[in-house]
Structure formats: C-alpha cells, structure tokens
Amino acid sequence: MLATIHFLNILLPVLYLAGFLVYYFDFTKDVKGLNNTKRIFLFVTLVFHVFYLFARTVEFNHPPITNKFEIFTVLAFSIMCSYFLLELLTDIRNTGMFIIIFAFFFQLFSSMFIEDLIEVQEVLRNRLLGIHVISAMLGYSGFTISTVYGLLYLMLYKSIKISKFGLMFNRLPSLETLEKLSFNSLIIGFILLTIAIIIGIIWLPSAFPNFSYLDPKLVVTGVVWIIYGLVIAAKYSGFWYGRKLIIFSQIGFAVAILSVIATIVFKDSFHSFY
C-alpha cells in the first residue's frame, strides 16, 4: 500500500500537468476530437486522486487534513472535482486550463513535501473536524473557481471594450456566461464556508480550551464571509451587475488569501495545528 501511495504521490502532479497541457492545447489550437478526450483524462485523474486520498486515510489512520501539505492535496482534489462537475453541468469546456493550473501547483507542493504521518494530535482525528475542514476546503475551491472566472470575465470585458479580438475573444464563452459561472461558484463556496463556520462555532469551543472568537483567523474568515455575503446580496437585490460585482468578489478572494497568510503569520492562534 505504501509503495502505491508513494507512486501516486509522484503520478498525480504529472497527471495534473498533462491535463493542463491537453486543455491548453485545445484552448489555443481548437483541436476537434480533444473535447471528449480531455474530459475523460480529467475523470481518470480524479479517480486516481480519490484512490490516493482513500489509501492515505486507511494507511495512516486519519483523513489527510492534519498538515498543510495534506490539506493542499485535498484542496487540489476539491478544486478539480468542483470544476469537473461544473464542466459536466454547463458543458463549457474551454476554460479548464485556467483552473487545472491551480490544482497542479497545490498537488505539486503537496507531493514535494508531504510526509507519511501516523502520529497526529488526537483532536485532528475528530470527525467533526474532518467535515469542518472538508467543507472549508470545498468552500475555498468554490471561491478559487469563482475568482478564475471573474478574472476571465475582466479580461474578456477589456478585450471587447478595446476591440482586441484575439484568442481570449475567440475561445472564451460569453461575458454573461462567465459572470454566471463565477457567481454560481461563489454561491456554492459561500454555502460550504457557512457550513464550515457553523461547525466551527459549535465544535471548536468544546475542543479547545483556549478558544476565542477574536482569534485572527476567525476574524478574517468572518470578514471574507461578510464580503461574499454582500456580493450575493448586491446581486440579488439588483443593485450591482457584471464588472462591479466581479471586482468586489475578487476583493473577497484577496481577503481570503490574506486569511490563509494570517494563520501562518499569527502562530499563536489556537487555530494553527501545523
């Protein structure tokens, strides 16, 4: 089993890179016949990744959420899984390369530094923590995908505005579609982050004696949640559309990234395990 885990550890970044290249090739060259091939390739990669996560859980007797490099591989998987579902639901297949690149880097860093940990803190074996972390990861995956589509929206917006009808203009879906993809991913991300926060609020005080609502990471996560909540409210109230909305959600993502950095900077947080 250990040999298989080590083999998959090397194979997964290779598969993600290959997937990225297939999607890149299709985006730039518009090769007929690659449409289904790339989707099947992505599916096979995900199957390998599921097996890898499962094998790690069984072999090391804990879900792979106990250190940041284990988290990275879960993040890579959840980003790819969310994208795959989105591609299946919308049948928009041209934008994969912009998402896979994130999964590739997360998996690459994970594969480079991940260790075979058997001994972990007892609190990290808790099931509620597993749900808390996985929903948070899926939530952040949603925000990452939303941000990528948001950036693509802004790029296409600019190229149409300045009449630059190049590759992006020819290959990307319409602005309205990009806005919809970005917003829908954001909503899914928001719901999952909300679940993560609720579980956190219920479980953390009982699990950690030094729990504090003023913990830096909790505060920043709260700010992220409020920003995304405002974006959703602004959209549904008909107050903001298109570019303004996208820019605001990009700010939300920037703050979310800051929250990750915050956990590294503020080492004295109770919320830091690694």
Partner 1 sequence: MNLVGITINHRTAPIELREALHLSKNEIVDLIPKLKETLFNEGFIISTCNRTEIYGIPKVSKLHYQHIIDFLLENKNISGLKPEHFEKYFSCGAVKHLFKVSTGIDSLVVGDSQILGQVKEAFEISEDMNFSGSVLRRVFDVAVKVGKRAIRETEIGEGAVTVSYAAVQVVEKIFASLDKKKALVIGAGETGELAAIHLKDRGVGEIAIANRTLSRAEKLAEKIHGEIIPFSQLKDHLHHFDIIISATSSNELIITKDDIKQMMKRRKGLPVVIMDIAIPRDIDPGSQEIDNVFYHDIDSLEVIVKQNMKKREKEIPKVESIVMEELVSFFSWYNTLEVVPTIKRVREFFEDIRKDELEKIKHKVTDDDYAKLEDMTRRMIGRLLHNPTIKLREIAEQGTNIQEVETHSVILKELFGLNNGHSKIYKPEESDIPKKEESKVE
User: What does each C-alpha distance from 224 to 92, 114, 140, 271 come to in angstroms?
Assistant: 28, 28, 10, 17
Q: Is 248 in the site for partner 1 (CB under 8 A)?
A: no
Nearer of residues 61 and 174 to partner 1, judged by Cβ: 174
Paired tokens of 204 = 């953390």
Nearer of residues 108 and 151 to partner 1, judged by Cβ: 151
CB of 156 to partner 1, least distance (A): 7
Which listed range, 39-47, 130-138, 225-233, 236-244, lies at the site for partner 1 (CB under 8 A)? 236-244
Residues 138-157: x/- map of binding to partner 1 (CB under 8 A)?
A: ------------------x-
Q: Which of 160, 191, 207, 260 binds partner 1 (CB under 8 A)?
A: 160
Q: Is 180 in the site for partner 1 (CB under 8 A)?
A: yes
Nearer of residues 34 and 108 to partner 1, judged by Cβ: 34
Which listed range, 39-47, 121-129, 158-166, 259-267, lies at the site for partner 1 (CB under 8 A)? 158-166
Which listed range, 52-60, 69-77, 134-142, 171-179, lies at the site for partner 1 (CB under 8 A)? 171-179
CB of 155 to partner 1, least distance (A): 12
DSSP per residue over the chain, as a string?
A: -HHHHHHHHHHHHHHHHHHHHHHHHHHHH--TTHHHHHHHHHHHHHHHHHHHHHHHHHHHTS-S-SSHHHHHHHHHHHHHHHHHHHHHHH---S-HHHHHHHHHHHHHHHHHH--------GGGG-HHHHHHHHHHHHHHHHHHHHHHHHHHHHHHHHHHHTT--SHHHHHS--HHHHHHHHHHHHHHHHHHHHHHHHHHHHHHHHH-TT--TT-HHHHHHHHHHHHHHHHHHHHHTTS--HHHHHHHHHHHHHHHHHHHHHHHH-TT-TT---
Q: What are phi and psi of 55, to 5 degrees?
A: -60, -40
Nearer of residues 131 and 234 to partner 1, judged by Cβ: 234
Q: Is 35 in the site for partner 1 (CB under 8 A)?
A: no
CB of 117 to partner 1, least distance (A): 47
Q: Is 165 in the site for partner 1 (CB under 8 A)?
A: yes
CB of 192 to partner 1, least distance (A): 26
Nearer of residues 116 and 176 to partner 1, judged by Cβ: 176
Q: Which residues bind partner 1 (CB under 8 A)?
A: 156, 160-161, 163, 165, 169, 172-177, 180, 238-244
